[in-house]
Structure 1
Amino acid sequence: MNTTAQPLATLLRQLKPVQLRLLAELNNSQALGVAAARVGIAQPAASRHMAEMEALLGLALHERQGRGLTLTPVGEALARRAARIQIELADAARDISEAATGRSGVVRVGAVTGPALSLVLPALTEFQRLYPEFRAEVTVATSVHLCEQLRAGHLDFALARLSLGETQLDAHRIAGEPLSLVVRRGHPLVVLPNITLDDLLRYEWVMGDDETLLTQTVMARLADLHAPAPLRRISTSSFLFTLALLNQTDAIAPLATPVATSFSGNPSVPFVTLPLDLGMTVAPFSLVTRIGTRLTPSAQRLADAILGMA
């Protein structure tokens, strides 16, 4: 056994919950006054708590920099653990509430657009039929944003893609995400008997910037087909803005096939899928959770249902 680690572990157990909360908030804000306000204490009390922690541990947790402060490497390490403790306590409260009341709690799920429509939506529809009291909060966003929300404890799980080098999140791989090309009803391309790649490249394409995975996928596939990059006068990652552009212009948008299919099956929707498959598929998405944590019973049931549909 490490003789130096044991005394430190004993000392860490003496830290107060309010001190751990303060340290976690300080890591986010880098301002003692802001962190104190979020915890619900005065700034002098926050300063006293910081001094008490450093005296107890015999380690410097923060240092002044101009008018602000930063955490030392030791402080950052402890703050990350403190944040995890706050998340676990919040999840424990939800577990206890479900067990005590017998009612399903609120499940917070995130997803990128395609899986949100093809998996999350039908799973939630079925759950509402089976469990009338079941409630869910759904966030549809990019993988980067969803993973940030997941690390912060604002989501239970997400259908997203992990970045390389991720250390806090775990992923259960599900499937790749094929792309289809969507235009407005009445687009000149719709009346062509056979649409070619050259026909497509005569029009503007609506996509995100070059850093987005969808755009990188499209560009890589066009390069494989020895085709030039499409014209893009407007780049956006906003789904609603993309639909507005499609509705008012002759632009073409590569969208997740489940999203495109939802348009094609509804004649009242002013968008259609072009009958041409360029073989574009975005890298597989996964069911992503925080490493070392267990989902609440309600969240686990929903996650299992989604995996069963995939």
Structure 2
Amino acid sequence: MQRARDEIAQIRDGATGSVSLAVSASFALTVLPAAFKDFHRRLPAVEVQFSEAVLPWMLARLRDGYLDFAVAHVVPGTLDPQFEALELFPVQLVVGMRNRHPLRGARSLLDLYDAEWILPGDDHRGRDSVAPLFTPLGLPPPARIIQGQSVTVALALVGNMDLIGLFVEPLLKLTFKRHGIRRVEVEEHLPMLNVCVVRRRGQPTTPAAQHFIECIQRASLAAAAP
């Protein structure tokens, strides 16, 4: 009902209503500020609700109608058909561990496979929820996984414990040094992820949400420009 009221209000005057979206941590630290500045300048009266989350949480909230859209890292070809994705730009996955981790000299994922990992996942699906991160490498998920919905928590734990994490490359420059984390240069080619605007297929997009998506597209293009 709230979505219907928003659509009526936005059609009526084109400048009010609300938008609820979730974004990844790296997107929040890089592209989002420029996108929101653009959006807020054009539609200052629209109420915006932000959440920072990982993909499993986003999909659950899109499914129940809580979010208008999300900006997430998606493994190509793995998104459930009930969702649709608008690709923005690619990002590389990197392996991270604390600077003094006992396995810091490893150069292959096989050398790290028996270690304990912390990865974004869905508790209800267990290890299957992180399988798309390892399937392109021909590997099942590691046996020892701590699952979480917060990149901030993952960074803090990896920086202080003998855990291994997978992070997107923008976080390497933004946060690794501060948390005492190093990149592990493994010989395997880690999968690229697509940063995408994700929506529930068939769900109408309100005028304000569509305008925000267009601001995100412009900011993404500007960020990718040489």
TM range (shorter): 0.5 to 0.7
Q: Say whether 1:245 aligns with 2:157.
A: yes
Q: Which residue of 2 aligns with 1:55?
A: none
Q: Say whether 1:211 aligns with 2:128.
A: yes
Return 5+ residue gaps in structure 1 as ranges.
1-84
What's the CA shift for 1:230?
4.2
Instruction: Report Cα offsets for 1:105-130 as digits up to 9, x if no partner.
Output: 54321234454444434423555678
CA RMSD of aligned residues (A): 3.7
Letter in 1 for 2:131: Q
Alignment of 1:63-142 (within 5 A): 87-96=3-12, 99=14, 106-124=18-36, 127=39, 136-142=48-54
Larger relative contact order (Cα-Cα within 8 Å, sequence gap ≥ 6) = 2
What's the CA shift for 1:249?
1.4
In structure 1, C-alpha distance between the alignment counterparts of 2:3 and 2:39, rounded to whole Å: 25
Secondary structure of the corresponding residue to residue 268 of structure 1: helix
Instruction: Report Cα offsets for 1:76-110 as digits up to 9, x if no partner.
Output: xxxxxxxxx663233322454x54xx5x6543212
In structure 2, C-alpha distance between the alignment counterparts of 1:219 and 1:270, rounded to whole Å: 25
What's the CA shift for 1:273?
2.4
Alignment of 1:194-205 (within 5 A): 195-197=106-108, 199-201=111-113, 203-205=115-117
Q: Which residue of 2 aligns with 1:74?
A: none
Letter in 2 for 1:302: F
What's the CA shift for 1:201?
4.0
Contact 1:178 1:281 in 2 (8 A): yes
Q: Say whether 1:293 aligns with 2:204.
A: yes
What TM-score does the superposition give when structure 2 sets the normalisation length?
Answer: 0.68
Q: Say whether 1:171 aligns with 2:85.
A: yes
Letter in 1 for 2:88: I
Q: Which residue of 1 aligns with 2:179?
A: 269
Counterpart pick for 1:257 among 160, 165, 169: 169
Work out the percentage of aligned pairs sharing the same amino acid.
Answer: 22
Counterpart pick for 1:146 among 58, 77, 80: 58
Q: Say whether 1:187 aligns with 2:101.
A: yes
In structure 1, C-alpha distance between the alignment counterparts of 2:95 and 2:50, rounded to whole Å: 26
What TM-score does the superposition give when structure 1 sets the normalisation length?
Answer: 0.53
- After superposition, the Cα gap between the structure-2 partners of 1:274 and 1:303, relative to the gap in structure 1 and judged at 3 Å, is same
What's the CA shift for 1:181?
0.9
Q: Which residue of 2 aligns with 1:155?
A: 67
Q: Say whether 1:236 aligns with 2:150.
A: no
In structure 2, C-alpha distance between the alignment counterparts of 1:222 and 1:133, rounded to whole Å: 47
Contact 2:24 2:53 in 1 (8 A): yes
Q: Mean Cα displacement is larger for which, 249-258 or 123-132?
A: 123-132
What's the CA shift for 1:131?
7.0
Contact 2:101 2:162 in 1 (8 A): yes
What's the CA shift for 1:251?
1.4
In structure 2, C-alpha distance between the alignment counterparts of 1:222 and 1:170, rounded to whole Å: 25
Task: Tell me which protein shows more helix as a share of its residues.
Answer: 1
Structure with bigger gyration radius: 1
Q: Which residue of 2 aligns with 1:302?
A: 212
Letter in 2 for 1:303: I
Instruction: Report Cα offsets for 1:187-229 as digits up to 9, x if no partner.
Output: 3455x5xx411553464322243222xx2134324436xxx86
In structure 1, C-alpha distance between the alignment counterparts of 2:203 and 2:141, rounded to whole Å: 43
- After superposition, the Cα gap between the structure-2 partners of 1:278 and 1:221, relative to the gap in structure 1 and judged at 3 Å, is same
In structure 2, C-alpha distance between the alignment counterparts of 1:126 and 1:269, rounded to whole Å: 31
Task: Tell me which protein shows more strand as a share of its residues.
Answer: 2
